[in-house]
Homo-oligomer: A and B are copies of this chain.
Amino acid sequence: MAQQSLSGAINTGLRRALADDPKVVLLGEDIGTLGGVFRVTDGLQKEFGTDRVMDTPLAEAGILGTAVGLAFRGYRPVVEIQFDGFIYPAFDQIVAQVAKLHYRTGGNVKMPITIRVPYGGGIGAVEHHSESPEAYFAHTAGLRVVTCSNPQDAHTMIRQAIACDDPVLFFEPKRRYWVKGEVNEDLDEQTVSMERAHTVQEGTDVTLVAYGPLVITARDAALAAADEGISVEVIDLRSLAPIDFAAVEASVRKTGRLVITHEASQYGGIGAEVAASITERCFYHLESAPARVTGFDVPYPAAKLEEHHLPDLDRILDAVDRVMGRENSLTGWSA
Residues of A within 8 A of B (CB): 61, 85, 88-89, 91-92, 95-96, 99-100, 103-104, 127-128, 135-136, 138-142, 241-242, 265, 267-273, 275-277, 279-280, 283, 286, 288-292, 296-299
Contacts and interface: CB of A to CB of B under 8 A. Distances in A.
Contacts of A103: 298-299
A291 B279 CA distance: 10
A265 B273 CA distance: 12
A286 B104 CA distance: 41
Contact of A289 (B100, B127, B280, B297): B280
Contacts of A283: 286, 288-289
Pairs of residues from A and B, 9 with the lowest C-beta to C-beta distance, nearest first: A88-B92, A283-B289, A139-B268, A275-B276, A91-B91, A272-B276, A272-B272, A100-B299, A272-B273
Contacts of A296: 141
Contact of A299 (B85, B99, B268, B272): B99
B136 A136 contact: yes
Given A127-B104, A135-B139, A139-B135, A290 B298 contact: no
A231 to B, nearest CB: 22
Contact of A267 (B127, B273, B279, B299): B273
Contact of A128 (B96, B270, B272): B96
A268 B135 contact: yes
B91 A88 contact: yes
Contacts of A291: 280
Contacts of A95: 88, 91
